[in-house]
């Protein structure tokens, strides 16, 4: 079987993602040699340490290998290696960072003392505020719907009260998402339940995991990318991502990473909502498992993986906040009380964290999700990727869409033209009556008077209509152009298409109109 090696896998913003079967990652002549793909469509590339600027190597697959020299090569340049399962679970990770036992020992006590309530509130308050901003920015619901949980967190003295308020906010927030839809290519047929969000819980697991529709599948995958960045941010600072704050310690779960990513989740939500409103997806972007779960195709996972730098920047301040808190505990020699059965109350100093006399600066809370990454645009009819962002249809589908719009907008006009042709054949042309002729003569006389009254002041001497005016006028809508020139839409259409050059007295108005 002949195998086709296409271009090398691209590194987008420091992220290299490989998928498919028979994935290979090795070192050849001091270059990182990677290979992935499916069947005959394979990709192969080599990257040098000095020029690759690689920061993340993501692999979504279960067959293949990565060599020990390759892991050392990634470690030398400070790049993280992460393997993901097809359901967006993290299978393996190799992340270099600060190895400091003192910080880990302090971390074990820093999250169980008197400041536990304030620490949790400092992470969950910006989360709920950002969720309210999402609801308001995308006009899903009034942001006041989350005002009550916010107030409850501000007044909470018990750790359990903070978690209860966050749970109430999450239920309200996700219920508002129920009618949100996903746009698929017009020519693709997909299951009905793929088009609507409905609920955050999957009917397969009664949890967000193992999503049954594309919207939840996209959310789960991008959340996994955010979790990877949270783990990297914590490990780089010397913390253990498994020792959680309000997510319970559990085997095979990075609880602290899940805690730190909570304030950034609404930013992911805003990114997904913006994606749903600006892009049409193809049926081949997703596939269904035998159990009914929904998974993302390799091409879509590659595009979404390029958003990882954004999530890393957003989660970094919160990881830094926790790190500062742990460092102050380590420096003060304060080991704090061991976990007790009685509930922990919030410190009387509500505005900031307190360890004896130490103060910690909290990160600024974003008022609304900003700096959202954007993916490539796609045709609304066939979902083909478009090279520009201001188009809705590709070159092949555009004529079909234009013909469809013409039938929708001018169907009655076509019937009128057919009727007019019949009347003309019978000698009863409605446009050749005496009132119409008088109106036509009056318009022609007014135009002649305007031409005679107009005087050329020489300001348009070096202006050429075809070169200086026509290219800009072609972007002006027909209705606006006809109103500005006080002419019929058909005459304005001829001017905009270049079939007719208007009198020079109109050129200044056209220049001003084009500039606007």
- State yes or no: pLDDT of 199 exceeds 50: yes
189-205 core/surface letters (b: 16 or more CB in 10 A; e: else): ebeeebbebbebebeee
Give the domains, in start order, of the chain with CATH numbers: 4-84 (3.100.10), 101-359 (1.20.120.920)
Mean pLDDT, residues 162-179:
92
Q: For residue range 459-480, list pLDDT tens digits in order.
A: 777 788 888 888 877 778 877 8
Cβ contacts of residue 332 below 8 Å, gap of 6+? 355, 356, 358
pLDDT band for position 316 (cuts 50, 70, 90): very high
Residue 209 CA to residue 289 CA, distance in Å, equals 14
Q: At what angle do helices 308-332 and 101-110 cross, to 10 degrees?
A: 90
499 burial level (CB within 10 Å; 0-12, 13-18, 19+): exposed
Mean pLDDT of the chain: 82
Helical (H) or strand (E) element with 234: helix 214-236
Output the CA–CA distances (angstroms, integers) from residue 329 to 98, 183, 350, in the order listed.
17, 51, 19
Residue 91 CA to residue 64 CA, distance in Å, equals 14
In this predicted structure, what is the pLDDT of residue 267?
93
Query: What are the φ and ψ backbone dihedral angles of 312, each rounded to 5 degrees?
Result: -65, -40
- State yes or no: pLDDT of 339 exceeds 70: no
Mean pLDDT, residues 99-113:
77
Q: For residue range 77-90, list pLDDT tens digits in order.
A: 999 999 998 888 88
In this predicted structure, what is the pLDDT of residue 249?
72
140-157 core/surface letters (b: 16 or more CB in 10 A; e: else): bbebebbeebbebbeebe
Mean pLDDT, residues 366-379:
62
Q: For residue range 56-74, list pLDDT tens digits in order.
A: 999 998 899 999 999 999 9
Residue 162 CA to residue 150 CA, distance in Å, equals 9
63 burial level (CB within 10 Å; 0-12, 13-18, 19+): exposed
Residue 174 CA to residue 138 CA, distance in Å, equals 14
pLDDT band for position 324 (cuts 50, 70, 90): confident
pLDDT band for position 35 (cuts 50, 70, 90): very high
Higher pLDDT, 217 or 473: 217
Q: For residue range 399-442, list pLDDT tens digits in order.
A: 777 777 766 665 666 666 677 778 778 877 777 778 888 888 88
- State yes or no: pLDDT of 456 exceeds 50: yes
Rg (CA), the chain: 31
Residue 340 CA to residue 63 CA, distance in Å, equals 46
The pair of structure tokens assigned to 76 is 């030398």
The pair of structure tokens assigned to 275 is 């994606």
Q: Are strands 41-47 and 4-6 parallel, antiparallel or unpaired?
A: parallel
Helical (H) or strand (E) element with 412: helix 398-425
Greatest mean pLDDT range, 105-114, 207-216, 432-441? 207-216
In this predicted structure, what is the pLDDT of residue 333?
59
Q: For residue range 233-263, list pLDDT tens digits in order.
A: 999 988 888 888 777 777 767 888 999 999 9
Q: Any idea how long the chain is? A: 516
pLDDT band for position 215 (cuts 50, 70, 90): very high
- State yes or no: pLDDT of 149 exceeds 80: yes
In this predicted structure, what is the pLDDT of residue 413?
61
Residue 501 CA to residue 91 CA, distance in Å, equals 67
In this predicted structure, what is the pLDDT of residue 358?
36
458-494 core/surface letters (b: 16 or more CB in 10 A; e: else): eebeeeebeebbbeebeebeeeebbebbebeeeebee
In this predicted structure, what is the pLDDT of residue 280?
86
Among 240-244, 312-316, 338-342, 454-458, the range scoring the smallest mean pLDDT is 338-342
Closest Cα to residue 276, out of 193, 384, 374?
374
Q: Are 130 and 150 in contact (CB under 8 A)?
A: no
In this predicted structure, what is the pLDDT of residue 213?
93
The pair of structure tokens assigned to 61 is 């697959």
Q: For residue range 40-50, list pLDDT tens digits in order.
A: 889 999 999 99
In sequence order, what are the beta bridge partners of 24? Answer: 35, 65
> Which letter does DSSP use for residue 53 in this model?
-
Q: For residue range 265-307, list pLDDT tens digits in order.
A: 999 999 999 889 888 898 889 999 988 999 999 889 998 998 9
Higher pLDDT, 395 or 184: 184
Q: Are 200 and 215 in contact (CB under 8 A)?
A: no
Helices within 426-477 (DSSP H only): 434-453, 470-473
Cβ contacts of residue 388 below 8 Å, gap of 6+? 377
- State yes or no: pLDDT of 392 exceeds 90: no
Output the CA–CA distances (angstroms, integers) from residue 423 to 242, 431, 432, 437, in the order listed.
84, 10, 11, 18
């Amino acid at each position: 079987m002949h195998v086709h090696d296409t271009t090398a896998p691209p590194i987008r913003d420091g992220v290299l993602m490989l998928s498919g079967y028979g994935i290979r990652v090795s070192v050849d002549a001091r270059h990182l040699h990677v290979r992935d793909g499916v069947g005959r469509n394979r990709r192969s590339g080599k990257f040098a340490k000095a020029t690759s600027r690689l920061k993340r190597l993501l692999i979504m697959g279960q067959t293949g290998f990565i060599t020990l020299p390759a892991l050392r090569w990634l470690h030398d340049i400070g790049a993280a290696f992460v393997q993901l399962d097809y359901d967006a679970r993290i299978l393996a990770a190799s992340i270099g960072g600060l190895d400091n036992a003192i910080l880990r020992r302090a971390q074990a006590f820093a999250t169980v003392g008197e400041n536990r309530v304030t620490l949790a509130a400092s992470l969950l308050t910006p989360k709920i505020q950002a969720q309210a901003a999402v609801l308001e920015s995308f006009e899903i619901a009034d942001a006041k719907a989350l005002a009550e949980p916010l107030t409850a967190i501000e007044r909470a003295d018990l750790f359990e009260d903070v978690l209860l308020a966050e749970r109430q906010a999450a239920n309200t927030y996700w219920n508002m998402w129920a009618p949100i839809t996903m746009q698929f290519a017009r020519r693709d047929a997909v299951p009905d339940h793929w088009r609507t969000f409905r609920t955050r819980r999957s009917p397969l697991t009664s949890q967000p995991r193992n999503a049954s529709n594309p919207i939840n599948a996209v959310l789960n995958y991008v959340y996994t990318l955010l979790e990877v960045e949270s783990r990297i941010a914590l490990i780089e600072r010397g913390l253990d991502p498994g020792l959680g704050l309000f997510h319970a310690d559990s085997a095979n779960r990075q609880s602290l990473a899940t805690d730190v990513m909570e304030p950034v989740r609404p930013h992911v939500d805003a990114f997904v909502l913006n994606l749903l409103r600006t892009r049409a997806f193809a049926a081949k972007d997703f596939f269904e498992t035998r159990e009914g779960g929904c998974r993302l195709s390799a091409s879509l996972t590659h595009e979404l993986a390029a958003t990882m730098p954004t999530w890393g920047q957003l989660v970094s301040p919160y990881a830094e906040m926790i790190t500062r808190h742990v460092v102050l505990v380590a420096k003060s020699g304060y080991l704090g009380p061991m976990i007790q059965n009685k509930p922990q109350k919030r410190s009387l100093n509500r505005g900031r964290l307190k360890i004896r006399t130490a103060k910690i600066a909290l990160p600024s809370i974003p008022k609304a999700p900003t700096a959202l990454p954007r993916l490539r645009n796609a045709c609304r009819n066939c979902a083909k990727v478009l090279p520009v962002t201001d188009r809705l249809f590709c070159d092949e589908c555009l004529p079909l869409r234009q013909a469809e719009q013409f039938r929708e907008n001018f169907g009655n006009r076509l019937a009128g033209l057919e009727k007019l042709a019949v009347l003309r054949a019978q000698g009863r042309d409605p446009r050749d009556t005496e009132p119409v002729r008088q109106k036509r003569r009056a318009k022609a006389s007014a135009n002649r008077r305007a031409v005679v009254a107009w005087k050329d002041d020489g300001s348009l001497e070096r202006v050429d209509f075809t070169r200086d005016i026509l290219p800009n006028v072609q972007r002006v809508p027909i209705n606006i152009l006809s109103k500005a020139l006080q002419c019929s839409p058909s005459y304005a259409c001829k001017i905009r298409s270049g079939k007719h050059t208007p009198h020079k007295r109109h050129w200044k108005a056209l220049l001003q109109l084009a500039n606007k």
